[in-house]
Amino acid sequence: MTTNHQAGPAAATAVELTKIYGSGDTQVTALGGVDVEFAAGNFTAIMGPSGSGKSTLMHCMAALDAPTSGKVYIGDIELSSLNDKALTRTRRDRLGFIFQAFNLVPTLTAKENITLPLDIAGKDVDQEWFDTVINTVGLADRLRHKPNELSGGQQQRVACARALVSKPDIIFADEPTGNLDSRSGAEILAFLRSSVRELGQTIVMVTHDPGAAAYADRVLFLADGQIVDEMLDPTAEKVLERMKNFDAVGQVS
C-alpha cells in the first residue's frame, strides 16, 4: 500500500518491513511486509488495536528494534547496515523520543534532562533554540527542579523539550499522553502539533486514543501487522468511527 500523499521529502521510510517473533509453533508475525513513508514536517499518528503491530513498527523505525527483514531509512541512512555503535549515534543525533512513562533520569535536573542527548554527544547547546523550546513548553521556572518535584504533565513537557532541543530529523512518541489526565494530555498534544506547524518538526506518535490521534495531520491504521487504512485531517469522531469498524471486523474474523 502506497501512502505518500504528503508533500516534501521523506524523513523516514520503511520498505517491506517484516518482524517475526519466536519460531515454529509459537511464531508470531508482528509486521508482515509494511511499506510506509513519513514525510518531513508532518505529524503522523499510528493507531490500531492491541497486537496490531503499531508499537513494533515504531520501535523498528526508531532503531530500537531490529526487523526480521526489510529496510528502514532515516533520511537516506539505511539502518540494517549499522552496528550498535552507529545505531546509538543515529538515535542520539537524528532521533528524538517521548515515552509513555519514565522519560527522565531521576538524578538530573529538568535542564540537564533536556540537554542530555546534546551533552552525551558532547555538542554545544544552541541557547537561542533552547530558550525558544523552553518558552514554548512553558518550563522556564522549572529548570532547576528534579523530576520527582514535577507533576506528570510537567515531566512529559520536559520530555518533549528534550526531544525537540537537539533538532532531530524525526521524533517518535509512544503513547505520550497515556499516563496523563485529559487536560495535561491536551496540553502536550497541542504542543506537539504546534512544534510541527510552527517549528517544522516531524513527529510519529503511537496512540490508541482517538482524541489524541485527532491532533495529527494523518492517521495510519494497523491491523494484524499490515497498514489497512489511512486518514488525512482526522477528527476524533471520524477516528473513533473507523476504530469501531475495526472492532467489528475483528469480531467477525
Partner 1 sequence: MLKATLKSLAARKLRLGMSAFAIVIGVAFVVGSYVFTDTLNRTFDDIFGDLSSDVVVRPATPEGQESWATLAGAGSSTTVPADLVQQIDALPEVASADGEIEDSSVFVLDKDGDVVGVAGAPGVAVNWYEEPVREGEERVLQLIDGRAPERSGEIAVDDQTIETTGYQIGDEIPLVTLGEQPRISAELVGVTRFGESGSLAGASLVAFDTGTAQELFLDGENAFNGVSVRAAEGVDAEELRDTVGSLLPDGLEAMTGDDVDEETSSAVEEGLGFFNTFLLIFAAIALFVGVFLILNTFSILVAQRSQEMALFRALGASRRQVTRSVLVEAFVVGIVGATLGLLLGLGVALGLQAIFAAFGMDFGGGLVLQPRTVIVAYVVGVLVTMVAAFVPARRASRVPPVAAMRDDVVLPDSSRRTHVLLGGILAVGGAASMAAGLLEIAPSAAVFVGVGIVAVFIGVALLAPIISVPIIRVIAGWYPKTFGTVGRLARENALRNPRRTAATASALMIGLALVSAIAVVGASANKSIEQALDDGLEAEFVMASASGQPFSPAVAEQARQTGGVATVASMRGSFAVIDGSQSYLSAIDPETFGQATELSMVEGSADLASGGAIVGDDTADSDDLAVGDTINADLGSGIEEIQIVGIYDAGNPLLGGYVVGLQTLQDLGITPADSTVYVTAESGADLGQVQADLEAATSELPMVTVQNQEEYKDSQRDEVNQLLYIVYALLGLGIIIAILGIVNTLALSVMERTREVGLLRAVGLSRRQLRTTIRLESVAIAVLGAVLGVGLGLVFGISLQRAVSDDGLDALSVPVGQLVVFILLAAAVGVLAAAWPARRAAKLDVLRAINTE
Binding interface with partner 1 (CB under 8 A): 59, 64-65, 84-85, 88-89, 91-93, 97, 99, 101-108, 112, 116-117, 119-122, 148, 162
Instruction: Tell me the closest approach of the beta carbon of residue 172 to partner 1, in angstroms.
Output: 9
Instruction: Tell me the closest approach of the beta carbon of residue 150 to partner 1, in angstroms.
Output: 12
Instruction: Tell me the closest approach of the beta carbon of residue 65 to partner 1, in angstroms.
Output: 5
End-to-end C-alpha distance for the chain, whole angstroms: 22
Instruction: Tell me the closest approach of the beta carbon of residue 155 to partner 1, in angstroms.
Output: 12
Closest Cα to residue 121, out of 176, 59, 77, 165?
Answer: 165
With respect to partner 1, which residue has the nearer C-beta, 176 or 210?
A: 176
In DSSP terms, which residues pair with 173 in a beta bridge? 98, 205
- Looking at the chain, list the stretches that DSSP marks H as alpha helix, in order from N- to C-terminal side: 54-61, 84-94, 110-114, 116-121, 127-137, 152-165, 182-197, 210-213, 236-252
With respect to partner 1, which residue has the nearer C-beta, 103 or 207?
A: 103
Q: What is the CA radius of gyration of the chain?
A: 18
Position 121: which residue type?
A
With respect to partner 1, which residue has the nearer C-beta, 64 or 199?
A: 64
With respect to partner 1, which residue has the nearer C-beta, 101 or 228?
A: 101
With respect to partner 1, which residue has the nearer C-beta, 11 or 98?
A: 98
Do the Cβ atoms of 45 and 177 come closer than 8 Å? no
Give the DSSP per-residue string, 36-82.
EEEETT-EEEEE--TTSSHHHHHHHHTTSS--SEEEEEETTEEGGG-
Instruction: Tell me the closest approach of the beta carbon of residue 220 to partner 1, in angstroms.
Output: 21
With respect to partner 1, which residue has the nearer C-beta, 102 or 244?
A: 102
Instruction: Tell me the closest approach of the beta carbon of residue 148 to partner 1, in angstroms.
Output: 7
